[in-house]
Amino acid sequence: MNNLLKNLYPYILLLPVLIFIIGIFIFGILSSLLQSFGYFPAIGLYTFTFKYFKDTIKNPSFISSLEFSLYISFISSFIAVVLGVLLAYLILNNKNKIYNIYKLPIIVPHTVVALLIFILFTQSGWISRLFYNLGFIDNMEAFDKFLFDPKGIGIIIAYTWKGLPFITLITYDTLKKADVKYSKIAANLGASPLQIFLKILLPITLPTILLGFLMLFTFSLGTFEIPYLLGPSSPKALPIMAYIYYKSINLYDRPYAMAINMFITFLSLIIAIIYIFMQRLVQKYNKL
């Protein structure tokens, strides 16, 4: 009994804060859900309806925003996974401490990341100035437009830079714990480092990599700051579209904002379910 209390003691101390945080979270979700169904007493709406969901789905701007959000989330997560896995393998084979610099993006806030991307990649930024001085472009306006463009290149760069260290960390940890005897056997049989990576190490780390991809994808889908600061005027990411409806002077637009938020929540829940399912597969795989 004493051991049980000893184990629960830290959680008991955190309980007041947890209740407060969880309470705010649940209240926010329920409030958004009710408003998305048209129940908003503050402006005289008391009838539950699917009107706002139907109107949102039929709205071409919503479809464009959904496609844009899925596109930037998938591309940035995929690139971060590829680069993160390669970097983890490089660090595994080269213990040089200089590689620890890859962890830097973890501590950098998203607003600062957006500012850095703006300074570097805008047409009057550092990279365009460098290209101009080196003679690669005739004038800085000839530098490709990476920011505020419909392709979302600036957003993808920012998401990739932020997600890269996360993938590197979890992949490196998995590679470090992997049984090295298979790699040694393959090396003794004449396998190249690339073959060892593709045929042995990559299959071992693949479940972890997929979990990391899902986490990055979900996070990117709901992030507000970077698309707001670096995104195009059209199409907008889903969180930006919801924010515009929420800030509208017409309060009757508020349920549309909540309907979009519910779509984001629904997509995140689907990904979370996939994540849990894959995590169980990973656990079964590790026990084999």
What's the rounded Cα separation, in Å, for the pair 136 and 128?
Answer: 9
| pLDDT value of position 198 | 76
> What percentage of the chain carries pLDDT values higher than 90?
31
What's the rounded Cα separation, in Å, for the pair 138 and 234?
Answer: 29
Q: What is the pLDDT of residues 41-71, one digit of tens each?
A: 888 888 899 999 999 999 999 999 999 999 9
Average pLDDT of span 224-229: 92
Q: How many CA atoms lie within 13 A of 146 on its CB side?
A: 20
SS3 44: coil
Average pLDDT of span 150-170: 91
What own/partner pairs with CB < 8 Å and gap ≥ 24 does 10-15 have? none
**How far from chain centre, in Å, is Cα 147?**
19
SS3 138: coil
| pLDDT value of position 71 | 95
Domain 59-287: give its CATH architecture.
Orthogonal Bundle (1.10)
How far are the Cα atoms of 68, 246, 251 from residue 40, in angstroms, in the given order? Answer: 30, 13, 10
SS3 38: coil
Q: What are phi and psi of 249, to 5 degrees?
A: -70, -20
Domain segments of the chain: what residues?
Answer: 59-287
